[in-house]
Amino acid sequence: MASTGPLYLGFDLSTQQLKGLVVDDSLKKVHEAKFDFDADAKGFNINKGVLVNEAEHEVFAPVAMWLQAIDTLLLRLKDDGLDFKRIKGISGSGMQHGSVFWNADAEQLLAQLDPEKTLQSQLDGAFAHPFSPNWQDASTQKECDEFDAVLGNEHQLANVTGSKAHHRFTGPQILRFQRKYPDKYIKTYRITLVSSWIATVFLGKFAPFDISDVCGMNLWDIKAGKWNEKLLELAAGPSGVDALKKKLGDVPEDGGIHLGNISDYFVRRHGFSSDCTIIASTGDNPSTILALPLKKNDAIVSLGTSTTFLMSTAQYRPDPATHFFNSPTTPGLYMFMLCYKNGGLAREKVRNAINAQAGVDDTNSWSAFDENLLSTPPLAQDDPSKTPMNLGLYFPRPEIIPNLPVGEWHFEYDPVSDELKRSRGVPRSPEQDARVIVESQFLSLRLRSRDLVHSPGPGLPPQPRRVYMVGGGSRNKAIARVAGEVLGGSEGVFKLDVGENACALGAAYKAVWAVERDPGETFEDLIGKRWREDEFVEKIADGYQPDVFERYGRALKGFEMMELKLLEERKEGKLDE
Ligand code: XUL
């Protein structure tokens, strides 16, 4: 007999696609569909989901394309057999920092949607600006300098908002928008983030920001739990703080807040039940930590185009090199995040060089890369008692952590004499680059998370209990093995069954929790109780191994020296830019 229990729908609106994923109340995935912008969208001249204005380093996406994506994705979910009537709750995950500028007609247009017509054909006129700045945008250096300066310096801004100023953060983006398009800014009735944009469309009226995603704006005072007036004043410009506050709306404290029932449009057009509830949507990174009942000393490493490292922690220790956000669900917890621009692309470059040298036909194959990764000794050190450690940085794109330009640099480090020397490359390039680049990416994570991890058991040095890998790179078991060697993980390195859709899964789980929780029941408790470890995760590598972990611990000192040296050279204008 077909099941009839409640279902929960999570959306993930990211740079390149919109995904929808449905789970039942036992957390099992039952349906999934996607709309790929480059492959499926009609009428937009985008590449990898975005438009680019090179001259001003702008990266942005057409909002109408996302409406088209929702129109089609719902049909695809239906084709997949989804019975919309069973859906009790909807939440979403949106790429962080992106903003949408709605005009004064929006509310009425949203309220009066005709179920005979598509969203795209009816909401085109709802926006003060047709584009949403994307997290890859780098047009706001001037505005970032102003944000860092207005509270004193970048440390102060990080203390208050959880992050120093970043190009992609919404506050600096609003400041630039307000200056570049003063008329459009005046006509903006409401600003949503990508996350609250999804909730808005399904709710049929404006949805507030979520308590975690609001921390990606450089405007929210995390400890005080309110907007920072000085930062608002800077972003707001001549039309003033009150006008900006109205555009931003309120920020409810409860991440599981029921925003209201689904808009009648979806009931009549797609057959949703009229009591289906819309739950606050959050950012893609906060959503990722909701894809499993993450414990306090666990870490998630997301290996995609970029690399992100996420932990849930009760400690608020802001620093200009890292990010802190409120937990999307649990008061008193924070999400710690490291976000790198270089990740997959940098590894692919080494892979391509290895494949070219070996004459491998399938240029996308990782076999030769993996073989070299595992056969090269740690730190490409043939004999640790005689040869130095090989360290390197590989940045095909300008990096944020540390703040260095495009380049590749190599050093040799002797941990006994503590001497660091520039070198031309690894002893055998490109084969050994496979090891050194992967180590380099994980050493950077270890360096910057070392004060947050603690000993997971008697006699063990501080390290995560578990390392969970998500994103495209989590398919690679050789990389997972090195992740465990460098980062540790007393219980091992794990892969999520739905790891490539962790954001959509986290959104669906947020909806389950918000609708089914008992009073006071935390996300961690509810999801923890229903979580089926043996079905949902796979151990893909051993984590902590004392000797090699200790060796990487010694390498960390040289790694930090290497970064500081290059930052110094950059300051002195000695690096090619
Ligand atoms: C995080 C960030 C990206 C985006 C898109 O600060 O900019 O991870 O959220 O994934």
pLDDT at residue 480, rounded to an integer: 97
Distance CA 463, CA 467 (A): 10
Instruction: Give the confidence band of 304 by pLDDT, cuts at 50, 70, 90.
Output: confident
pLDDT at residue 471, rounded to an integer: 86
**Contact call for residues 58 and 136 (beta carbons, < 8 A):** no
Distance CA 514, CA 25 (A): 12
Please give the domain boundaries of the chain with CATH numbers for all domains: 7-286 (3.30.420.40), 293-342+463-541 (3.30.420.40), 344-449+546-572 (no CATH)
As a whole number, mean pLDDT of residues 296-309 equals 91
Pocket test for ligand 1, best of 193, 284, 335 (most atoms within 8 A of CB): 284
Instruction: Give the confidence band of 296 by pLDDT, cuts at 50, 70, 90.
Output: confident
Cis peptide before 331 (omega within 30 of 0): no
pLDDT reading at 222 higher than 80: yes
Residue 342 CB–ligand 1 contact under 6 Å: no
pLDDT reading at 577 higher than 80: no
pLDDT digits (tens, 9 = 90+) for 137-186: 999 999 999 999 999 999 999 999 999 999 999 999 999 999 999 999 99
What whole-number percentage of the chain has pLDDT above 70? Answer: 100
Q: Work out which ligand 1 atom sits closest to the CA atom of 135.
A: 7
Instruction: Give the confidence band of 472 by pLDDT, cuts at 50, 70, 90.
Output: confident
pLDDT digits (tens, 9 = 90+) for 432-455: 999 999 999 999 999 999 999 999
Pocket test for ligand 1, best of 194, 308, 401 (most atoms within 8 A of CB): 308
pLDDT at residue 160, rounded to an integer: 98
Instruction: Give the confidence band of 2 by pLDDT, cuts at 50, 70, 90.
Output: low
**Contact call for residues 23 and 30 (beta carbons, < 8 A):** yes
As a whole number, mean pLDDT of residues 240-264 equals 98
Q: Work out which ligand 1 atom sits closest to the CA atom of 96.
A: 9
pLDDT reading at 1 higher than 80: no
**Single-letter residue type at 247:** K
Record the pTM.
0.94
pLDDT digits (tens, 9 = 90+) for 409-428: 999 999 999 999 999 999 99
Distance CA 564, CA 545 (A): 28
Residue 308 CB–ligand 1 contact under 6 Å: yes
Phi and psi for 393 in degrees, rounded to 5? -125, 135
Taking alpha carbons only, the member of 457, 484, 448 closest to residue 469 is: 484
Q: Which residues contact 567 (CB under 8 A, 6 or more apart)?
A: 402, 403, 404
